[in-house]
Amino acid sequence: MINGINDRVLSVLNFLLIKVAWVACVVGGSLPGMAVVSLMLLMCIVQGRWQRERAFVLGLSVLGLILDSAWIHLGILDFGADSLNVANIQLAPLWIVMLWVAVGLSLFEALGFFVKRPLVGALIVGATAPLSYSTGAQFGAVTISSSTSLLIIAVVWVVVFGVVFELARRVQQTGAGENNNPQAAA
């Protein structure tokens, strides 16, 4: 507990912040997204969760950059002018990488239910991925080449998040980093 705020309240706040992060990133772009994700990161550090979660946050950031960049090169998604151009290679925009950071920062909080049930979580996340991208398309943040593209994304997300949730479950079971907050251990 931090300054009298219980874990449940902080989990609810994390849940709300990941929703705000989605809107900030998709509608506002990189700077508003970065502001919300920075707040989420600050909460993670203050709560003493960073030691346990940093590998997931960094790993999901890199994975998200690779996946969404691959979607560009495969003609599945087009982020338009928001795409980054590095050495003549089109990469996913910073705002979508920020969304992957937000997911990493929510893994043991807002998404904790799925960590305890990796298969259920993977199926739900895979089923909702097309909705997320389609909604982003309605805001003009991305162009989706076809409904088949959404199916491909969904299947890949089921596999990716099945692995991510299972790895997180194992970390949680072993208690790795559970008492990484020096104040909590005292």
Q: With a cut of 90, say whether residue 156 has pLDDT above it.
A: yes
Residue 10 binned pLDDT confidence (cut-offs 50, 70, 90): confident
User: What is the pLDDT, as a whole number, of residue 2?
Assistant: 52
Q: Are 51 and 180 in contact (CB under 8 A)?
A: yes
Percent of the chain with pLDDT over 90: 81
pTM > 0.75: yes or no: yes
The residue with tokens 């909080």 is 109
For 116-121, what is the mean pLDDT?
Answer: 96
Give residue 99's pLDDT: 97
What is the reported pLDDT for 5? 66
Does the pLDDT at position 172 exceed 70?
Answer: yes
Provide the percentage of residues in the chain whose pLDDT is more than 70: 91
Domain range summary for the chain, segments of one domain joined by +: 7-176
Tell me what pLDDT residue 11 has. 84
Residue 26 binned pLDDT confidence (cut-offs 50, 70, 90)? very high
pLDDT score at 180:
45
> Which tens digits make up the pLDDT trace of 52-99?
999 999 999 999 999 999 999 999 999 999 999 999 999 999 999 999
